[in-house]
Amino acid sequence: MKILHTSDWHIGKQLHKYDLADDLNLFFDWLIPYIKTEVIDVLLVSGDIFDQANPSQSAFKQYYDVLRQLVQLDCKLIITGGNHDSAAVLNAPKELLNAFDITVIGGATETLSELFVDVEKNGERLVVAAVPFLKDRDIRKSVAGETYATKIEQIKAGLQIYFSTINTHYQNHYSDGFFVVMGHLFVQGSSVSESERDIQIGNQAGVEASMFQGIPDYVALGHIHKPQAISEEEHIHYCGSPISLSFSEKEDEKQVNVITLKDNQLQRLEIVPIPKPRNLVAFEGSLEEVQQQMIRYDQETPLLSLAEIIVNEETESLERRQAFEAFVSEQPNARLQIVKSRLSFSTKIRGASDAFAVGTDVADVTPMQMFEKKLELQVELENTEELKAAFRDILQELNL
Ligand SMILES: [Mn+2]
């Protein structure tokens, strides 16, 4: 039996308003024949199917188009919700998709047994605990008046209990199969990129890999976009997003993980690279330096390269600002599309300083960064740390 692990498709994602639908289509055009020729029996998608809780109509179309192609293959699909997904949106067609041998677990279920999927094929038995992204309320009973640190500890303890109950359920009901646990969460030891939403308070609520107690035969994680093994020995892996979703992922080699079973044991784990649909590039320096680098850029990929430009100039002047704006708007190289640009000055004119560098798009600023900037401007405030902690709690409650 062969299992393919992927995650974080983020259908509908735009990179600084540039639609990445073509990138995903190229991934799907590669994935479908791969599943067919390699005879993949089970496809696991560990969360963040969509980029938005309320996907656009074109995002839905892309999702159903790929599902339609997948159901024509003899491959069992297991899809879980991530922090970007709305459980209700993913679950809405659940029963219909079930009729096509697609299991969808949008969010935490009433009972743990509902998360278990038992797949038997060619004399092999695979047991999947399809754990979706777990919301705070799924794992923690909020206690009024507690401190921030204890809440984090509570989330961690809650996750630990949750996953150990999953292990116990497996041991009590299915102990002879190959056991895969899916999850969409931050497991400590992983390095993050810009595009993972600041959920569960960044890194602080990360859990240790030991939480899995070495019981699953493979842990198929989603949430972190950079592919990585958290534990080689215990087979705990992030397969990463199939396409680059932010400039911080520009160097990542994207992959899917393929697990081959023999006699209900792991026979082989393959890291299969995904062909790169486009380059994301960053150019930094003075305006002249950036101009030169951009003109020299000559790499060709199936899709247009997307550029981030960061211009640092010595002294602030209107003339430099205008030159920068003209440069950005003229798009100096046909192989490149500038999607993100920023201008900053080492020496500011007195009084001209503003909260963010010129060219900073409000979409690039997280709510937390915006709040911190606002606090910086309120010089008379003394309890800023408390305010930050309270603001973090609000963001967390709202799932932002
Ligand atoms: Mn994600």
pLDDT tens track for 324-370:
999 888 888 888 999 999 898 887 665 544 556 666 667 677 888 88
Q: What band does 176 get if pLDDT is binned at 50, 70 and 90?
A: confident
175: CA distance to ligand 1 center in Å? 31
Please state at what angle helix 287-296 crosses helix 318-330, rounded to 10 degrees: 10
List the strands of the sheet with 124-130, edge to edge.
Answer: 116-121, 124-130, 178-184, 218-222, 236-238, 228-231
More confident residue, 394 or 51: 51
The tokens describing 250, both together, are 């520009």
**Using CA atoms, how far apart are residues 35 and 75, in angstroms rounded to an integer?**
8
Q: How far is the CA of 59 from the centre of ligand 1 (A)?
A: 16
| Centroid of ligand 1 to alpha carbon of 2 (angstroms) | 24
Sign of torsion over alpha carbons 215, 109, 228, 257: positive
Beta bridge pairs of residue 311: 285, 343
Distance 49 CA to ligand 1 centre (A): 8
The architecture that CATH gives domain 2-273 is 4-Layer Sandwich (3.60)
Query: Residue 142: its pLDDT value, please?
Result: 46
Q: 222: CA distance to ligand 1 center in Å?
A: 7
Q: Work out the pLDDT band at 139, boundaries 50, 70, 90.
A: confident
Convert the pLDDT of each residue in 76-102 to its tens digit.
Answer: 999 999 999 999 999 999 999 999 999
CA dihedral (196, 199, 201, 203) positive or negative: negative
Write down the pLDDT at residue 333.
Answer: 87
**Closest to 80 measured CA to CA, from 54, 115, 114, 45:** 45
What is the rounded CA–CA span in Å between residue 311 and residue 283?
Answer: 8
Residues 6 or more apart whose CB falls under 8 angstroms from that of 292 comprise none
Query: What number is the average pLDDT over the span 265-293?
Result: 95
Helix (H) or strand (E) holding 291: helix 287-296
- The alpha carbon of 357 and the centre of ligand 1 are apart by a number of angstroms equal to 27
Averaged pLDDT for residues 27-56: 97
> How far is it, in rounded angstroms, from Cα 359 to Cα 337?
16
Neighbours of 273 (CB within 10 A): 10
Query: Mean pLDDT across the chain, nearest whole number?
Result: 88
- What pTM was estimated for this model as a whole? 0.83
User: Using CA atoms, how far apart are residues 74 and 139, in angstroms rounded to an integer?
Assistant: 36
Amino acid at 201: I
Give the Å distance between the CA of 82 and the centre of ligand 1: 7
For the beta carbon of residue 146, count every other beta carbon within 10 angstroms: 11
Q: What is the distance in A from the centroid of ligand 1 to the CA of 29?
A: 21
CA 11–ligand 1 middle distance (angstroms)? 10
Is 50 exceeded by the pLDDT of residue 198?
no
User: Considering the chain, what percentage of its residues have pLDDT values greater than 90?
Assistant: 63
Structure tokens of 21? 């639908």
Ligand 1 centre to CA of 224 (Å) is 6
Kindly give the distance from the C-alpha atom of residue 84 to the centroid of ligand 1, in angstroms, as a whole number.
Answer: 7
Average pLDDT over every residue of 268-295: 94
Residue 31 has pLDDT above 60, yes or no: yes
Ligand 1: centre distance to CA 12 (Å) = 12
Average pLDDT rounded to a whole number, residues 26-33: 98
pLDDT confidence tier of residue 195, bands split at 50, 70 and 90: low
Alpha-carbon dihedral sign for residues 81, 367, 327, 297: negative
Average pLDDT over residues 363-388: 80
Distance 244 CA to ligand 1 centre (A): 11
Average pLDDT on 108-116 reads: 95
What pLDDT does 373 receive?
A: 82
H or E element in which residue 112 lies:
none
- Closest-CA residue to 46 (of 97, 83, 95, 1): 83
Paired with 187 in beta bridges are: 207
188/186 Cα distance (integer angstroms): 6
How remote is the CA of residue 240 from the centroid of ligand 1, in Å? 8
In the reported structure, the alpha carbon of residue 394 is separated from the centroid of ligand 1 by a whole-number distance in angstroms of 21
Q: How far is the CA of 190 from the centre of ligand 1 (A)?
A: 14
For residue 223, the CA-to-ligand 1 centroid distance in Å is 4
Distance 254 CA to ligand 1 centre (A): 14
Give 131: exposed, middle or buried? Use CB within 10 Å, 0-12, 13-18, 19+: buried
- Output the CA 296–ligand 1 centroid distance in Å: 33
**Average pLDDT of the segment spanning 267-281:** 96
Q: How far is the CA of 327 from the centre of ligand 1 (A)?
A: 33
Within 13 Å and on the Cβ side, how many CA atoms surround 368?
18
pLDDT of res. 357: 62
Give the domain ranges of the chain.
2-273, 280-362, 366-400
CA 13 – ligand 1 centroid, Å: 10
